[in-house]
């Protein structure tokens, strides 16, 4: 429904403007010029940061960078995945279950609810959620007035060497969602979700104008490869095939496991490779952070122009969900 409302709203305005060009003070202007007059400009930002073992310190770092992003014109700001702590999924320890909190009890969520209202920006906050006996990898979207617009729970949960998330999280049950913020309709996937085209397509069909992916990804000690270019290309493809910008925020730094009896004296470390980025609506990278530096990257988009481009290309017009459904049934 959201997709149709976005398209119809814009299409109606386009027809009205063009039909009355000769009767208004814009009589000499083209439809393209009129689109510029009607534009909705929204600034988006990705925060790239190093995470320490101290929760308060991480929140303070994130706060400083969020304020910098707002000063540079960002209206919607993305924090990295599970930024309140180092990436505890590198090892398996039952005591880490205690990190999980209800949404309104999480320290990061509480802090950035106040900051969003103060700065009048939208902030996407990743946290470890507890819901009775279930634990989730979750994001909440806080609107520019401090309102919590709801949560999304990570759908795809990895279980690989040193990315042992199935030990900590159950698969999300929210389904893919979009959030109508003050500055536009957005979709949010979480890290491993970004490798699956279904995630991006579901959010785009639901009306997302920009896709956001909080991330915690780095070295692959067992595979012995640099996954960064592959990781980045996946999301560039989602952007290009859905004609929406993508914003990805990753952490940086080396995080090491301290051996103890509970984790079987495991010794390991991950080097998170940063490289946070923003694409345009064709998948081309506009801004990319480095691999080792704390950074804030910001870009402004004309959401009405992006909506017009999506209509013009006809990708959503020519989709065949009826055929896809038959193929999926065969797969099942």
For 125-164, give one letter per residue: b (16+ CB within 10 A) or e. bbbbbbeeeebbbbbbbbbbeeeebebbbbbbbeeeebbb
Please, are residues 231 and 224 in contact by the beta-carbon 8 Å criterion? no
Please, are residues 48 and 297 in contact by the beta-carbon 8 Å criterion? yes
Question: Active-site residue numbers?
Answer: 81, 154, 191
- The DSSP secondary-structure symbol of 82 reads T
Report the residue count for the chain.
332
In 3D space, the residue among 86, 56, 81, 76 whose CA is nearest the CA of residue 137 turns out to be 81
- The DSSP secondary-structure symbol of 28 reads T
Ramachandran category for residue 132: left, alpha or beta (phi over 0 → left; psi -120 to 50 → alpha) = left
Ramachandran category for residue 37: left, alpha or beta (phi over 0 → left; psi -120 to 50 → alpha) = alpha
Question: Can you name the residues that pair with 254 across neighbouring β-strands?
Answer: 271
The position carrying tokens 């609506």 is 281
Tokens of 7: 């398209």
């Amino acid at each position: 429904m959201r997709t149709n409302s976005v398209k119809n709203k814009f299409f109606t305005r386009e027809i009205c403007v063009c039909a009355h060009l000769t009767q208004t003070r814009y009589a000499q202007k083209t439809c393209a010029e009129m689109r510029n007059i009607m534009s909705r400009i929204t600034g988006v930002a990705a925060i790239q940061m190093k995470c320490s073992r101290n929760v308060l310190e991480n929140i303070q770092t994130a706060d400083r960078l969020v304020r910098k992003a707002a000063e540079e014109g960002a209206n919607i700001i993305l924090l990295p995945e599970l930024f309140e702590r180092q990436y505890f999924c590198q090892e398996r320890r039952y005591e880490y279950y205690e990190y999980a909190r209800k949404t309104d009890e999480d320290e990061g969520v509480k802090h950035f609810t106040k900051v969003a209202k103060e700065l009048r920006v939208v902030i996407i906050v990743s946290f470890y959620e507890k819901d009775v006996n279930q634990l989730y990898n979750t994001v909440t979207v806080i609107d520019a007035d401090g309102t919590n617009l709801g949560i999304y729970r990570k759908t795809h949960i990895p279980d690989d060497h040193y990315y042992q998330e199935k030990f900590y999280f159950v698969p999300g049950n929210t389904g893919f969602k979009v959030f109508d913020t003050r500055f536009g309709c957005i979709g949010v996937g979480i890290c491993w979700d970004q490798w699956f085209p279904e995630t991006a397509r579901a959010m785009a069909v639901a009306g997302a104008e920009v896709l956001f992916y909080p991330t915690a990804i780095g070295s692959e000690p067992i595979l012995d490869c640099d996954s960064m270019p592959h990781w980045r290309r996946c999301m560039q493809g989602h952007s290009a095939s859905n004609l929406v910008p993508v914003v990805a925020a990753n952490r940086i730094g080396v995080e090491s496991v301290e051996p103890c009896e509970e984790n079987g004296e495991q010794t390991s470390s991950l080097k998170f490779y940063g490289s946070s980025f923003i694409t345009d609506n064709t998948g081309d990278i506009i801004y990319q952070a480095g691999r080792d530096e704390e950074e804030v990257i910001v870009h402004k988009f004309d959401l009405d122009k992006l909506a017009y481009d999506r209509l013009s290309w006809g990708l959503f017009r020519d989709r065949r969900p009826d055929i896809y459904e038959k193929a999926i049934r065969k797969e099942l």
